[in-house]
Structure 1
Amino acid sequence: MRRARTSFGALGAVTSVGVLIALIAACGDDRGGFIKNDRAFETQSEGGAPDAETCLLQCSLDGRSIIDSCTGGVVETCADDLACGAAKCQEPCAAAEADRSSNGCDFYFTQPLSAYPFASCFATFVVNASNKPATVSLELGGEELDVSGALFRAVPNSTDLELLEGPIPPGESAILFVADWDPTIPRSLGERLYHTSCPTAAKPAIQADGYFRSGIGDAFRLKSNVPIGLTWMYPYGGAGTHFPTATLVLPVSAWAKEHVVVNGWEANVGEPVTQIFAAEDDTEITIFGSKDVTNGVGFAGATAGMPAKIMLSKGQFVQIAQSQELTGSLVFSNKPTATVGGSECANLPSKAAACDTLAQQIPAFEQWGSEYVGIGYRPRTANTEEIVWYRMVGGRDGTELEYDPVKPAGAPTTLSAGELVLFRARSNDAFVVRARDAEHPFYLGMHMSGADGEESDSPSHGGMGDPEFVNVVPSGQYMSSYSFYADSSFSEHSLVIVRKKTHGAFKDVWLECAGNLPDWKPIDSAGQYEYRRVDLSRNFGPGDSFGEKRCTTGLQRMRSEGAFSATLWGWGKYASYAYPGGTAFRKLVEIPLSPVN
């Protein structure tokens, strides 16, 4: 039975609107699930030695057939209405769920809480990851919303949009305008100053006001008949939005029952924010806070280390905004849930202007890795050694870390359960960090700092970019193909690609605007990883050239016969966004979290 709902969440929304957010672009079209080993392209166990090659059945990169992993020979071709998932031909949404990737058919999300409580344009990027047309629907509070005037096709090499009538074609992308404020309400000058409207031609699925900080609200639910990749962006509209952020949205099939909270930054201009989502009725959530959990509308908090229990119905989320960061807190639930960590608006570092809203959907604890590669985006200022920040959170006591080739200054060599460590490194200094085994997982995230800088070791970046927060994908979650969207309303885009040896060799990585990418740079002394960057745009113009090909913003497609990651960074004047192009959600951790007694 559904309980009465509070107006939902964070920047904009009316009594029954749920906080917005949804950029979309992400998704990996990874069809690499082996029939006996769901770590499809792992060439070594997390933190261990390379695995010996074993010939197994797996899905082809296009998801249309089952092939032999050694010979590439087709064992079975799937029927037109089926797709390959976990080396089986099955219904497309079931195949995506079996593949345990960020592609899926059922998503919940809401807009992030911002220090500016004036609802702006909230949008999602949807990428059709299948070979069939994608029909999407949007719900709020169990009621379907009208998206007939909200779904648009982005015109290639342009900021123009075209209304999309009908489904999203196979392999193509669309922008869904989810929400904006109520246009009938008179606004003050201050409200208009910090508001960004959706494009004039768009009619968002909902136009409503509403705002709350700590409480329970309704989330948006987006469903599709075939697998899609989803990213949300808030506000939509490029650098002029002042405080944009984006996150890859994880499908319900990737949710789990144990989480460790990771917030975006400490309190300064705004406060840290935690959101927890439920997809089923009678979902009981128990939080053991690393700090006191404050009370909210519809729930009672608890002192640090004591259980705070919250009940959610299907499609609800709880939002906790407070001055004390909850990073390292444990979250348990009786049914699968998802968490988002962020900040209302953070200076980063804490004295560097300007502030930006932060938000990332955090993988469940069982999906955390024990090996990561750190490498930054292309420095914002030419011919400089930009400093980037890393955010590391321990999963278990006694986690010992090693770095290759060099440990960044300030990086930890040990971690305790729930411990947060911040450290810095030059953007061009790539490194591998690993724990001794998969049962000592940890989280790694990366930050872009404020445009104005702070102190001599964090200089100004000429007003370009601003604080952002993104998950670093663990090597155990790399995939073999991705489709994602680069927003043309930002002037600069840097795509960062890391590839891992597969069966003892580096495999070509194909990017649609470039072909097979050349000129990779080594990372570690063991020779297991390489990286390269690709500029998709510079000063609103095209990016890197590859022969007669030239990269631009818009839909990006990538694939390889090996494992790799792809992270997109975009920025403009005092604004930035970033998200992984996709990720797998394999269960890497077998031993569950230990509840606090």
Structure 2
Amino acid sequence: MRARLLPLAFVAASFVPAVIAACGSTPRPEGEFDEPDTSIDATITPVDGGSFTDSGFEPADGSILPPAGETRDPVDCNEAKQTKSYVGCDYWPTVNANNVWSIFDYAVVVSNTGQNVANVTVTGPNNFSKQVQVPAGELRKIYLPWVASLKGPDADNQGSATPLTASVYATGGAYHLVSSVPVIVAQFNALQYKGEGGEGPLPPDAGPDASPPAKNWSTCPGNGGVGCFSYSNDASLLLPSTALTTNVRVTGYKGWTSPEVPNPIPIFPPTPKQDIMGPHIAITAVEDNTTVTVRLSGPGKVLAGGAPIPATNGGGTLTLNMAKAGDVAELVSDKGERFDFSGTLITSTKPVQVIAGLPCVNVPAGKGYCDHVEETVAPAETLGKRYVVAPPTGPKGGGVKHWVRFVGNRDNTTLTYAPAKPAKCPATLQAGEVVDCELVSEAFDVQGSQEFAVVGLLVGAAELGNLTEAQRGDPSLTTFASVEQFRTKYLFLAPDDYDVTFVDIVGAQDSAPKVDGVAVPASTFTTIANGLGVFRVKLGPGKNGAHALESAKPVGIQVVGYGANTSYQYPGGLNLKLISAPPVPK
């Protein structure tokens, strides 16, 4: 459906052309580097009793890792409370701003890692309550009503979006998901990319065991116009409340400013540069009586949101008193690339969840189409000193360019790269400093003298030209797991609502990964540096979208999915060991 003279993904004004987003393919650098002291084997050292700890560090909370070659998930909820990983029993799904049409569903996808049936209960706003059973080794989609105040306005029927103009405090605005056994949870905002699937409302006289009818898509605003596509999706890996902490260094993306566009008719003036969309962060209290202190980055201006959220300029400090678990403070910044919450330090008296994103953004700013982006921000104590960053797999397979940014967590952090430093990536970082490497095609291994964070974004198809197909793809936000948080076992989610999905596996060549019991061919491995590289695997259906990965050595994974006019990317899993001291507020 290339016949889209009107926007296909959301834009902020009718005269701003939307350009479809996707990912293509670019050459990948290769080369061998023999530096055994920086290999995965050197990073993780066996210790007595068959368990192992990070070289030179012992977790302050006493948590341990399983024996080398094994990653054992918690077997019950009591153990999950002590385990620091993405597997747990208690989660807080939270809607954040997206201009997608509300006929598309906000949903969580729950995957059961254990041997017993998971009895899952979700409660939330407006007395919502739902119970779902998830069989062992499978996943289930749970459709949840949008929370209108946090979602923001829908786009019009031509796909033009409206930016948020104020911050929002939503009392009891988050959902609470509790499972009888440990599970994995990701939220999809929205789940479907086209007008298919989903659930309709139950009739008033429906019994307690009634199944919802199929969703009626006849009222989709895009019907007869730009088409019934969501155009605006992303996914976030949710972290169990037992893995959250009281310190968060925000990793997100900046606001969107469209560049000046020359007029094809020289006698007419160009379309001027315009500030279109601002970023947001959604802070969710997971315990009652939580006081949150937000020390804003220089570009992190906050728009007022009533008495609980006063207007605060960048560089200022904001205090939030969150009375009840499930309260959400969605801090919204002003429009344009000058505004960015990344680097902001959030501290709290009790653990909080933070999701960073934008309702819609072009990446790069002048290349369409725009799309909703979001990702859960990892606790600051879980950040590492080493990252292996591989360009994501594009819709046609093979690595493609992406937008990369670094976020500093401590002053005077020096960085060392192999095989080479991308031109615009930093050599040093200060606490809260954000550096955009911009578009990066090459893979790299980067090590810091202190912990830091690395963020990636899929880019618009207009940036990649003919390296996509069937109009697949657009911007999406992800964070990379540090090598210190790699695992040897994952159960991860790749819902069957998308046309094509990949898992990118980063690790040693002899890690011998298996996906769904099938060995990944060694021929799919591309070396990056220091004996590490990336395997790229196109996924089949799995168990209704649930996939299992095992490897002989710890690896990191990114899950990437594409549909027409949209995509998602998220870290498929990671350990969340407390490997760093809390950052020092400035």
TM-score normalised over the length of structure 2: 0.73
Query: 5 Å matches for 1:168-247?
Result: 168-179=134-145, 213-217=166-170, 218-239=173-194, 240-247=229-236
Segments of 5+ residues of structure 1 without an aligned counterpart are 1-42, 60-65, 73-82, 86-90, 152-166, 183-187, 196-210, 543-550
Paired residue for 2:420?
406
Match for residue 90 of structure 2 among 89, 106, 125:
106
How well do the aligned residues superpose, as a CA RMSD in angstroms? 3.3
CA contact (8 A) 1:220 1:315 kept: yes
Match for residue 555 of structure 1 among 539, 542, 546:
546
Paired residue for 1:519?
523
Q: Distance in 2 between matches of 1:285 and 1:70?
A: 38
CA contact (8 A) 1:285 1:334 kept: yes
Q: 1:390 Cα shift?
A: 0.7
Query: 5 Å matches for 1:473-484?
Result: 473-484=481-492
Q: 1:484 Cα shift?
A: 1.8
Q: Distance in 2 between matches of 1:329 and 1:181?
A: 26
Q: Structure 1 pair 56/115, CA: closer, same or farther in 2 (3 Å)?
A: same
In the alignment, structure 1 residue 453 sits paired with structure 2 residue 463: yes
Match for residue 129 of structure 2 among 122, 131, 145:
145
Q: Distance in 2 between matches of 1:256 and 1:68?
A: 22
User: Residues 403-426 of structure 1, C-alpha deviation per residue, up to 9 Å, x if partnerless?
Assistant: 111111211111111111111455
How many equivalent residue pairs? 470
Q: 1:557 Cα shift?
A: 0.8
Q: Distance in 1 between matches of 2:129 and 2:121?
A: 8
Q: Structure 1 pair 134/264, CA: closer, same or farther in 2 (3 Å)?
A: same
Q: State percent identity of aligned pairs.
A: 23
Q: Distance in 1 between matches of 2:575 and 2:40?
A: 18
Q: 1:139 Cα shift?
A: 1.1
Q: Distance in 1 between matches of 2:154 and 2:97?
A: 21
Q: 1:119 Cα shift?
A: 6.3
Match for residue 420 of structure 1 among 418, 431, 434:
434
Q: Distance in 1 between matches of 2:496 and 2:395?
A: 17
Query: 5 Å matches for 1:206-355?
Result: 213-217=166-170, 218-239=173-194, 240-268=229-257, 269-290=276-297, 291-297=300-306, 298-312=308-322, 313-323=324-334, 324-355=339-370
CA contact (8 A) 1:377 1:494 kept: no
CA contact (8 A) 1:141 1:315 kept: no
Q: 1:593 Cα shift?
A: 1.8
In the alignment, structure 1 residue 53 sits paired with structure 2 residue 46: yes
Paired residue for 1:532?
535
User: Residues 433-480 of structure 1, C-alpha deviation per residue, up to 9 Å, x if partnerless?
Assistant: 1102xxx211111111112228xxx77745331011111111111112
Segment drifting more, 289-298 vs 271-280:
289-298
Q: Distance in 1 between matches of 2:499 and 2:102?
A: 25
Paired residue for 1:13?
none
Paired residue for 1:490?
498
Query: 5 Å matches for 1:127-146?
Result: 127-141=111-125, 143=127, 145-146=129-130
Q: Distance in 2 between matches of 1:271 and 1:70?
A: 45
CA contact (8 A) 1:109 1:220 kept: yes
Segments of 5+ residues of structure 2 without an aligned counterpart are 1-35, 53-63, 195-228, 258-275
Q: 1:228 Cα shift?
A: 0.4
Q: Distance in 2 between matches of 1:532 and 1:266?
A: 33
User: Residues 45-95 of structure 1, C-alpha deviation per residue, up to 9 Å, x if partnerless?
Assistant: 899954553342459xxxxxx9994799xxxxxxxxxx975xxxxx70122
SS of structure 2 residue aligned to 1:241: coil
Q: Distance in 2 between matches of 1:270 and 1:485?
A: 30
Q: 1:96 Cα shift?
A: 2.2
User: Residues 123-154 of structure 1, C-alpha deviation per residue, up to 9 Å, x if partnerless?
Assistant: 1111011111100011115945134xxx5xxx
Q: Distance in 1 between matches of 2:549 and 2:66?
A: 22
Q: 1:314 Cα shift?
A: 1.2
TM-score normalised over the length of structure 1: 0.72
Segment drifting more, 113-122 vs 408-417:
113-122
Match for residue 389 of structure 1 among 403, 408, 411:
403
In the alignment, structure 1 residue 374 sits paired with structure 2 residue 374: no
